[in-house]
Structure 1
Amino acid sequence: MTPSRWSDLERPPLNAAALRRAVVTPGALWTSLDVVEATGSTNSDLAARAARGEPEGAVLVAEEQTAGRGRLDRRWSAPARSGLFFSVLLRPGAASSSGTAPVPVHRWGWLPLLAGVATATALSRAAGVDTALKWPNDLLITVAGEERKAGGILAERTGADGVVIGIGLNVSLKAEELPVPTATSLALAGAGGTDRDPLLRAVLRALDEWYRTWRAAGGDPVGSRLLQTYAAGCATLGRQVRAELPGGGELAGTAVAVDGDGRLVIAGPYGEQAVAAGDVIHMRPERRE
């Protein structure tokens, strides 16, 4: 017998109709919102729709992802309805419906950072949780004095003018359900609210606000205040880090800035170098006896 969607009363299903009424409104960025019971990857599904001409503003939410993807093609999954797993389609390379000019391609690298700022803003408002950003795409919450990952972001280009941004956020996972010991969830962090409907609405509204501001500034991270806001909330800056680079190799030093292209600037023995992509590890300070 197939379990009912209501079999776990602590994890009720999302109300797709109510979500659509709340976010797909005249003048809003979001043009459609679909909730599916399960899928491999919302990013892959939405990218396929984008290739068929889906307009900007589509939102695809899954109650469960069976082959969710992170950076470096890492795979992860979580119990059904235990978090928010969704993707949005943006088309920064096309003129917007309001006539805003396309954003130059070299500024699209700011989109995952923009999504991080929007998500952190929304969690502060809707869940009362302070969320820090680990460059380039992790959402961190401090629990019992330890930084733990509560979510992540994956941006993938689709076609000539589109980007699909996937966001995964652990909401109600229990300690025994965490994929790794360094993870956490909003519930474990003592969030003031873990109802996924208002959380999703809050994130989508913050994304709408930040994306419009960024587009209106032509993608300029300074003019839109995205750079300043990201830097203020970035837990990586000022830390000793080790960046494991694509294709091998690593770079160690102090993370001193995020530059105008969204790259992490690391100061090491050979001066300052900018990293566009990589797996960044926060190093623990050495203990002094």
Structure 2
Amino acid sequence: MGLKWPNDIHTSDGRKLGGILVEGHGADGVLVGIGLNLRGPVRDAGGAEVPGAAWLLGPGSLTGRVDTPAAVEQLRRALAGQLLAGVLREVRILGSTGGDARESGTLDRYTVTCLTLGRRVQVEPLGATSTPVAPSGASGTAQAIDDRGRLVLRTAEGALVSVDVGDVRHGPRESGRHATMRNAGEGAEGPTR
């Protein structure tokens, strides 16, 4: 299990288990939302099963367990408490370094869990529905996460391109290697500090 850049929680086989959203509110406020699929199968607004979704409990789940509503509620509360404690701990650590992701270790902790690194990827503009890369999108091998949290791609031409936002489609891992750079202080535009 790990993170698909930038904010999806995925199983090792690529199924989406949840997501993380972070929204800034002024200079001193941040709203963090985390969603996890507890029961399944996961369905869309029209009632159709969502392809590629994963869930923790129920038939076809990661655990295989089918629990009572009371047990599901107990798990939900326990997970919420643990997630809150973890987010608060991470915010305190990051805050102690003035928001420096590298100095606080946040960048390393994210990079270690990032399932995108070392993969061929296509990045499409947010909301795009086609599978080919849009003309304004980028494709390449995910090399690193830079100090600003951007995904650094190596294009087929060998150039480094930093991506701020987009829908990422994973392709296969590069054969025989993981990311060539664990994290980077430089992207396509040069130093990010």
Q: Common fold, TM-score beyond 0.5?
A: yes
2:7–2:21 Cα contact (<8 Å) kept: yes
Deviation at 1:160, TM superposition (A): 4.3
Partner of 1:133: 3
1:253–1:269 Cα contact (<8 Å) kept: yes
Residues 160-185 of structure 1 show CA distances to partners (whole Å, capped at 9, x for unaligned) of: 43222221110122367775111111
Q: 2:109 matched to 1:229?
A: yes
Partner of 2:165: 277
1:154–1:166 Cα contact (<8 Å) kept: yes
Task: Measure the CA separation in 1 of the matches of 2:103 and 2:144.
Answer: 17
Deviation at 1:157, TM superposition (A): 2.4
Distance 1:220 1:191, change over 3 A: farther
2:144–2:151 Cα contact (<8 Å) kept: yes
Q: 2:138 matched to 1:251?
A: yes
What 5-or-longer segments of structure 1 have no aligned partner? 1-130
Q: 2:151 matched to 1:264?
A: yes
* Partner AA of 2:16 in structure 1: K
Percentage identity across paired residues of the two chains:
39
Helix, strand or coil: the match of 1:236?
coil
* Aligned with 2:55 (options 185, 202, 208): 185
Partner of 2:184: none
Partner of 1:206: 86
Distance 1:285 1:230, change over 3 A: closer
Distance 1:178 1:161, change over 3 A: farther
Deviation at 1:234, TM superposition (A): 0.4
1:245–1:251 Cα contact (<8 Å) kept: no
What is the RMSD of the two structures over their aligned residues, measured on CA atoms? Answer: 2.5
Residues 10-45 of structure 1 show CA distances to partners (whole Å, capped at 9, x for unaligned) of: xxxxxxxxxxxxxxxxxxxxxxxxxxxxxxxxxxxx
Of Structure 1 and Structure 2, the greater helix share is in 1
